[in-house]
Structures are given as C-alpha cells and as structure tokens.
Structure 1
Amino acid sequence: MTASTVQTAAAPAGAGQRLGIVLAACCLGQFMNVLDASVVNVALPVIAEELRLDRHHLQLVNNAYTVVVCGFLLLGGRLADLFGQRRVFLAGVGLFTLASAVGGAAHSPATLILARAFQGLGAAVMAPATLTVLGTTFTRPEARAKAFGWWSGVSGAAGAVGVLAGGAITEWLSWRWTLLINVPIGIALFVTVCCAVPRGPHRDGPRPGLDLPGAVAVTLGLMAVVCAVAEAHTYGWMSPVVLVPLVGGVALLALFVLIQARFAAHPLVPLGVFRIRSVAAANLVAFFSVAALFSTFYFFTLLLQNVLGYSPVRTGLSYLPLSAGIALGGWGVSSLVPRIGPRPVLMSGLSLSCLGLLWLARADAHATYVADLLGPALLLGFGMGAVLNATTNAATAGLPVHQAGLGSGLLNATRQLGSALGLVTLAALSAHRIDEASGPGPSASVQALASGYGLALTGAAAFTAAGLLAALAVPRACGQGGFQAFSRR
C-alpha cells in the first residue's frame, strides 16, 4: 500500500499530492516524538561519562522528557481544538526543534535536562496535533483507516528504530547527534506543515474558553504521578520522595475530575466522552498494549546486551524484524478495520502479541537469534502494529470533529501512562527475581538476569491478556459516527 491509495480514497485526484504530503508530515512528526523517547537510551552511559552525571541525575535525562510529555498531552490535544491544528502543530515542531538544538549543544547537566523537558513540551503539543490533522483531513472511513494505519505503524516502529539509531549514532558519531539529528528534520517538517497542512474546519460562533483550573490540575497531577512512578525503582514505593508526589498527584487528578463534573463551563475533558463505548474501551486497550510493548523494548535490549552479549549496533539491528513487523501490521490491517470493525483486529493482534511474548520469555543465555528471538519479534511486531491501528481508529472515530484534539490527546496520554506504569511495575518484578536467583560466579549472574528478564516479559504477556479482555468491550461498528450510534444501543 502506498500513500496514493489513501489520497485516492480521500479526495479527488487533483488534491491527492497535497494529501500525501499531509500524511507524510503527520507521520514524520509522530516518528520524531516516539523516536526521541528511545533514541537517547543507548547513549546514556556515554552522556554520564562526558557530563559527569551520577545515576540519579542520569535518570532525569529520560524522566524530564517522559514526565512533561505525559503531563501536557491532554492540554496539547485541547489546544489543537481551540486554536487551530496547523498553528498548534507548528508551535510544537518549532519548540521541539529548538530544544533539540539546545540539548545537543549542552555542556552541563542542567542545560541538557532542561532541554529534554522542553522537548517533551514540544512533543506533547505536536503529538495530538498530528492525529487531529489526520482525523479532520481524511474523513471517509476507508481513507481514515489507511491514514491511521501509516501513523500507527510509524508510531510503533519508531520506538524500535530508536534503539538502532541510538546505537549507531553513539558508536560512530557522538551522543549529541541523538538530539541534533532532529534539527534538520524539524526545519524540513516546519516548512512542510506551513505549505501543506490545512488550517482545519471552520468554527462558527465564538471560540470556547480554555478550562485553566482543570488544565493546571490535570497537568500537574499527571506529572506528579509519572514522576513518582519513575523514581519508585530508585527509592522504593514507601520513600517520601515517591509517596509525596504520588499522593499529591492522585489528589490533583481527583480535583480535576471534580472540576470537569461540577465547575468547568468549558471542560478540558467532558466526562461524557467516557460514555462513548469505543473511546473508553479503546483507551483501556491502549493502556495495556503500550505497557507491554514499551516494556518489551526495555527488557529485550537488556536481554540482548547483558545476557547474550550483543554490541549496541548489533542490538539495534536485532530490532529490525520487530520494527518491520509493527509497520506491516499497522498498514496491513488498515483495509480490514472499516469492513469488519476494530474488535476482531484487536483480539487477533493481542493474541499474536501474547504468544510472541510468552515465546520470548523463554530465552536464556543459550538462546540463538534465529531459533529463539526472530519468531517472537515478528509475532509481537505484527500483532502490536494491528493493535495500534485499531485502537487509534476506535478511540477517535466516535468523536465529533471539534473534539478530535481531545480524543487524540486522551489516547496519547493513556499510552504514555501505560508505558511509564508498565515499565516500573515489571522492572520491580524483574529486580526482585534477579536478587533471588543471583549466585556466585559469572554464569549464575547471567542466568539470574535471564530469569529476571524472562519474568518481566511474562508480565508483558499478562498485560496483553488484560488488553484482550478490554477489547471485548470495543464496539463492532466502525466508520465515521458509527461508534456513537452503536454506543447508544
């Protein structure tokens, strides 16, 4: 399938080229967002050595990005609805590109961490805008599904590609280029968005106000919860460093719900959106599936390097089948979703992913790539590609056009929460198993690591099983407006 098939289904031939550019711009923006969450991981040891960062502050290089992205995603999605999708898209691209340049040139830990936080803010504004633009540009169900297929395939594959790119860049160039590579790409994307992305549908009447109290409560609440989860692995769940932000974050999120239900004239997240069955169920599926996928990226990397002794570049190359599987899965089911609905696609994709993870969890120090890793990577990749596509369709198709940004921001926030909470949960289980299984000698240590990583991958399979149960609640109907009609039955 090519972009031209999407164009033909969405618009007359004269507009096909422009629609193809819009699709490419949205996919590239999402690729940058997801890639940056993983590309820096491989470079962290080199960054620590050059900037003299201790373990705790080194963790902040990643957490600054993750916490800010998660905190601002809902607000970023709403901004696209209120102020125009192209304007917000451009603001996100510009901020992300500028922050990447500052981070790549950083010579102090504080500058790098601050730049990563502003990168996260740019990503939180840009990510919902990419999905909003697709949802309002490709309005026919077939074209919409194909566009979302490309976007979902790129979203999933970018995380795996980030490991490959990070290893190659760090080993052959410099860790700084893991950030600086965004600058020329960002400039090209900014120009493309200016020229090709439409302003969005015209809104009659005055623009609704922004729910500032709700925005502050949910942003600070999400940031506090994700920050607490990120620090739990270092300090433990009962530490004040974890408990204080966790309790404070939960309280702020409860306050946010109260504001939305009782006080907000123009709610940031109208709670009625969760009465749309497709939106509620698809976000639950997204939470569990992304918790499994991004945790797998982490533990698969550790398995390859710490148990099987792969170099960073070889580790990156080992991700290629997984990346290809995600891309093929997302694109391959795009024509099925409008015809049969998202539920069968979700259940099939989650079943394949669960089987792949259970197979991968059996790998030990004697595993070979062809016999023990290639098959699971392909099963997981194709299954998750299908799931990412179907959840994107289900979580946004039941919303009116003026709430497209809301649906996009909600879905992206759910995915970020899933990745953060899933990883810290499985990391705790893995660390406990490794401590229990450790023994004298290098061979025993390697076997303990393999056992711990295997338990974590089994936990990821359990997440996909939970997602499979949630998928039973996703409506069968598909297409523009179809989910709303079904949810009222």
Structure 2
Amino acid sequence: MTTPDTQAADPRRWWALAVIAIAQLMIVLDATIVNIALPSAQKALDISDADRQWVITAYLLAFGGLLLLGGRIGDLFGRKRTFLVGLIGFALASGLGGFAVNGGMLFAARALQGAFGALLAPSALALLSVTFRDPRERATAFGVFGALAGGGAAIGLITGGLLTEFLSWRWCLYVNVPIAVVTAVGASYLLVRDHIDRSRRVRLDLPGAVLGCGGLLLIVYGTSEAVSRGWSDWLVLTALCVGVALLAVFALVERRTEHALLPIHLISDRNRAGGALAVGLAVIGMYGLFLFLTYYLQGIQGYSPIKAGVSFLPMTAAIVVSAAGIASRLMTRVPTRNLVVPGLLLGAAGMAWLTQLKVDSSYLTTVLPAELLLGLGMGLVFMPTMNLATLGVAPEETGAASAIINSAQQVGGSIGTALLNTIAASVTAAYLATRNPTDPLVQAQGAVHGYVIATTVAMGILLAAAVVAFLLIDHRPAPGEDEGRDAAAAARAAV
C-alpha cells in the first residue's frame, strides 16, 4: 500500500523548496530589516527614545514566545494550511505596519508579524522535512535552508539600508506584502498536501501552551529589557526567574500529558538537543557580530546605512558557499559532529580575528577576514543542525521538532544581543571613567574597546558551543536513515 511516506517523490519538490526558502528568508530578514529604518520611523511617528525599542522587542516577543504553539498547531491542523495562514497573516500585519500613523499602531503590527511568523517558521521547516526524503536531496534542500537561516539577518541589514535610503522606512514593511502574497499563491499549488489522521481526536495542550509559551516570552522579554535596564534590574531578574520556573513546570507537565505541546522524547534525543544548544550558542556570537559591526562601521568609520549593509555581503556569501556548497555535499558522508564542531571553531577564529579591531582598522584586513571566517563556520553549523532537528521524527511531530530549533535560535539571539550589548556598554563606561570623556577620539576608543571585550566573550561562547556539540552530537549518516521515521513512530505507539 502506498503511503505518504513511501510514495514517489513529488516532481514539483524543487519548486516547493523555492517557496519554502522565500518564506524562511522573509521571516529571518524581518528580524533585522527594521533596525536600520528605526531612526527614520522614530522621527516620523514621534516615538520616544524610551519606547523605540518596542519596534524590535514586540516582534521578538511574539515570535519567540509563540513558536512552540505555532509548531504544534501545524502538526494538529496541517502544516500546509498553517503555512498559508502564516503567510497571509504576515502580509496583512506588514501592510498594517507600513500604514502606521503612531507608535502604538507600529508596535501592534510588529507583534502581529511575530505571531504569524511563529506559525510560519516551524511549518516551513516541517514541510521541508516531509518533502525531501532522499538523503542526498535532503542534504541539498537543507543546505539552501541553512544558508538562508544563517545569512538572512545580514540580507535584512542590506535591504533595510537600500529601502530606507531610496524609498522610505515604510517600505521595510510594505516589501513583505507582495513577497508573502506571491509565495502563498505558489505554496497553494506546489506544497505537498497534509495527510492528517482524521480518526484521531485533535486536542491542543492548553496548559502546555500557557506554560511553555509564557516561559519563552518572559525569557525573551527579560533579555530584551536587560539592554536598557541592566541585568541587575528587578524587572529583568523577575522576568528571567519566572520564565525559567514556568519552563521547568512545563517540562514536568508535558511528561504526564497525552497530547503534549512538546513531546519530551523530542528533546531527550541527544543529537537533537545537542544541535539546538549548538545553534542557540552560535547565534549569541553571531548576533553580537552584527550588532557591534553595525555600530562600528556607521558610528566609528562613518559608513552610510547602505555601505554598512553591503559590507556584510561577504559573510552572507560565505554562509551560502559553506552551507550549500560544502556542508550539503559532506552531510551524507561524514559524522555530523565533524561539520558542526569545525564550524564553531571557525566562527570562534573569526571572533578572535575581530579582537584586533582599532578605531582606524582597515575593513579589508580586519573586518573582512573575520566575516569570512564566521560565515564559513556558520554555514557548517546551521545546515546539519537544521537537518538533525527533524531527522527520524514521526510526520505528526515534525512541527513540534521544528519549533525546538527555531526557539533555540530566537532565545539565543535575544540573549546574545542583550548580554553582549551590556558587556560592551559597561566596559566602555569604565574606560571613559578614567579618561577624558569629552574627547571624541577617546569616546571612539572607548566604544571600540567595549566591542573588543564583548567580542572576546562571544569567542568564548562559540568555543563552549564547540565543546557541547562534540560531547552531545554523535549522529552518523546511514543510507535511507530518514525512512526509519515510520518504524520509530510505530515503536512509540506500541509503547
């Protein structure tokens, strides 16, 4: 009997990959595309300095907090349907943000973008997993997906600079509307139809949704607020502690829930857990580089927004070459650890190179080599770990498994931005306290000194990630390994 898992490969699968890849790119770049447009939007809508962070934070909170729920909704109600709803909702929210007449309207639109993105992201990865079953084709598909996951943030900076300078900050939001609509039309024809067992009673784990999403939301909120308030602030500490406590209770509840939001066996797998931890730690360092290089190139070197954005192109190209050209070819031949660990070490080497940064450093001799090293390293990290996230997972759980790796990226990005920014700011303040703080040269030297120390910390985090990956990831590719998902699902059902 032909089943969804044994039927012939869909002849439209490569067009489907294009649709999924475009949606993934839109999600990732939207986390950074507004960054460069933020000063213009703040001025146009008369947003205060205290409130401007909510343009970024509203998106991060909704996206990071609702990922687990979004992944499970896709499993229960159909990934294709959830993907389409996410696309259309993202387009509507983007249009609303582009039409914003005040700060509150823009904040609400960004929160809606994040909520629909939380539906879209896990469904995209889950659809990729069920569309490509052949190990070699799967490697190619995940190479493309991993390249976009790693390089999308840099593309967002470039796109934001171009749109802001030549059109308007509003186009950083409007641009999503035609992309999402065209992608939704393509998805409706090209993506595989979900085969949901209608005999199963569909139930959503509401206690798990409240605990899991609430815990993630508080952790993302706490780390976001730490940028302006500091890590010792009572609100930051309360949010982080309550968030961790909610996730601990969530883990206990999920062990006893028949229809769990996040089946515990998914995160108890050492390879999946090791991949998620490696990605979360890697993103901390990577977002730190984006943050400090953006400040350095525009604030110290005087680059325009467009020039600063274009300066990230070599790193994006390195990620694409590494993920799609190197990792995808080796993924079916070598142990996954042999890709992820060297990738993290290359990223750490890039951070080490960047610790040589000075006020008058040359882009070609200091910044560019660091970007290339980090890009080559992250390409080797993102692609194989994305593959591990859904490898061998039963079809009805691919959305939940996808949400794990997406949550790791989101929480890692929030923590990285807050932690490294706090370190840089405190080091700069200490530097200026012992010198003449009114001298522009001293101010620039203090800022660069703060970036260097924070970059050193990021290097240490990437080295720690390499140790975690070495100890936890022991996956070795085997011919037809993805075909074992049905046997695994049957074994769990028997238990």
Distance in 2, matches of 1:305 and 1:252, equals: 40
Call closer, same or farther: CA 1:344–1:483 in 2, change over 3 Å: farther
Distance in 2, matches of 1:203 and 1:340, equals: 36
Q: CA RMSD in A?
A: 1.9
Query: What's 2:262 paired with?
Result: 269
Query: What's 2:132 paired with?
Result: 138
Distance in 2, matches of 1:35 and 1:284, equals: 22
Q: Aligned match of 1:465 in 431, 456, 463?
A: 463
1:45 and 2:46 correspond: no
Letter in 1 for 2:353: W
Residue by residue over 1:49-72, the C-alpha shift from the partner in whole angstroms, topping out at 9 and shown as x without a partner, is 111111221000100000110001
Q: Which runs of 4+ in 1 moved over 6 A?
A: 482-486
Contact 1:217/1:252, CA 8 A, preserved across alignment = yes
Query: What's 1:454 paired with?
Result: 452
Residue by residue over 1:148-191, the C-alpha shift from the partner in whole angstroms, topping out at 9 and shown as x without a partner, is 11011011111001111111111111000000000111110110
Distance in 2, matches of 1:225 and 1:392, equals: 23
Bigger Cα displacement from structure 2, 194-203 vs 124-133? 194-203
> Which runs of 5 or more structure 2 residues have no equivalent in the other structure?
1-6, 489-495
Q: Aligned match of 1:328 in 321, 327, 341?
A: 321
Query: What's 2:312 paired with?
Result: 319
1:346 and 2:319 correspond: no
Contact 1:228/1:242, CA 8 A, preserved across alignment = yes
Residue by residue over 1:399-447, the C-alpha shift from the partner in whole angstroms, topping out at 9 and shown as x without a partner, is 2222111110111001101111122111111111101112321111111
What is the TM-score with the length of structure 1 in the denominator?
0.93
1:250 and 2:244 correspond: yes
Structure 1 residue 398, shift from structure 2 partner: 3.5
Structure 1 residue 476, shift from structure 2 partner: 3.3
Spell out the pairing of 1:170-185 with structure 2 (5 A cutoff): 170-185=164-179
> Which runs of 5 or more structure 1 residues have no equivalent in the other structure?
1-9
Query: What's 1:153 paired with?
Result: 147
Letter in 2 for 1:458: T
Q: Aligned match of 1:411 in 405, 423, 427?
A: 405
Q: Aligned match of 2:52 in 55, 58, 65?
A: 58
Query: What's 1:125 paired with?
Result: 119
1:431 and 2:425 correspond: yes
Letter in 2 for 1:468: A
Distance in 1, matches of 2:365 and 2:415, equals: 31
Give the total of aligned pairs. Answer: 474
Bigger Cα displacement from structure 2, 220-229 vs 240-249? 240-249
Secondary structure of the 1:55 match is coil
Query: What's 2:84 paired with?
Result: 90
Letter in 2 for 1:453: Y
Residue by residue over 1:5-33, the C-alpha shift from the partner in whole angstroms, topping out at 9 and shown as x without a partner, is xxxxx966xx44x1111100110010000
Query: What's 2:476 paired with?
Result: 477
Letter in 1 for 2:269: I
1:302 and 2:329 correspond: no
Bigger Cα displacement from structure 2, 37-46 vs 199-208? 199-208
Distance in 2, matches of 1:272 and 1:313, equals: 46
Contact 2:133/2:482, CA 8 A, preserved across alignment = no
Structure 1 residue 200, shift from structure 2 partner: 2.5
What is the TM-score with the length of structure 2 in the denominator?
0.92
Query: What's 2:385 paired with?
Result: 391
Contact 1:276/1:483, CA 8 A, preserved across alignment = no
Bigger Cα displacement from structure 2, 471-480 vs 324-333? 471-480
Contact 1:133/1:200, CA 8 A, preserved across alignment = no
Distance in 1, matches of 2:269 and 2:484, equals: 7
Distance in 1, matches of 2:144 and 2:232, equals: 43
Spell out the pairing of 1:164-313 with structure 2 (5 A cutoff): 164-203=158-197, 205-262=199-256, 264-313=257-306
Distance in 2, matches of 1:446 and 1:117, equals: 35
Letter in 1 for 2:444: V
Query: What's 1:358 paired with?
Result: 352
Contact 2:78/2:196, CA 8 A, preserved across alignment = no
Distance in 1, matches of 2:74 and 2:133, equals: 17
Structure 1 residue 243, shift from structure 2 partner: 3.1
Secondary structure of the 2:379 match is helix
Contact 1:145/1:335, CA 8 A, preserved across alignment = yes
Structure 1 residue 327, shift from structure 2 partner: 1.2
Residue by residue over 1:265-284, the C-alpha shift from the partner in whole angstroms, topping out at 9 and shown as x without a partner, is 21111212233121111111
Distance in 2, matches of 1:68 and 1:295, equals: 22
Contact 1:260/1:268, CA 8 A, preserved across alignment = yes
Distance in 1, matches of 2:80 and 2:368, equals: 41
Distance in 2, matches of 1:243 and 1:365, equals: 35
Contact 1:85/1:132, CA 8 A, preserved across alignment = yes
Structure 1 residue 245, shift from structure 2 partner: 2.5
Contact 1:305/1:311, CA 8 A, preserved across alignment = yes
Query: What's 2:17 paired with?
Result: 23
Spell out the pairing of 1:60-75 with structure 2 (5 A cutoff): 60-75=54-69
Bigger Cα displacement from structure 2, 374-383 vs 35-44? 374-383
Call closer, same or farther: CA 1:49–1:426 in 2, change over 3 Å: same
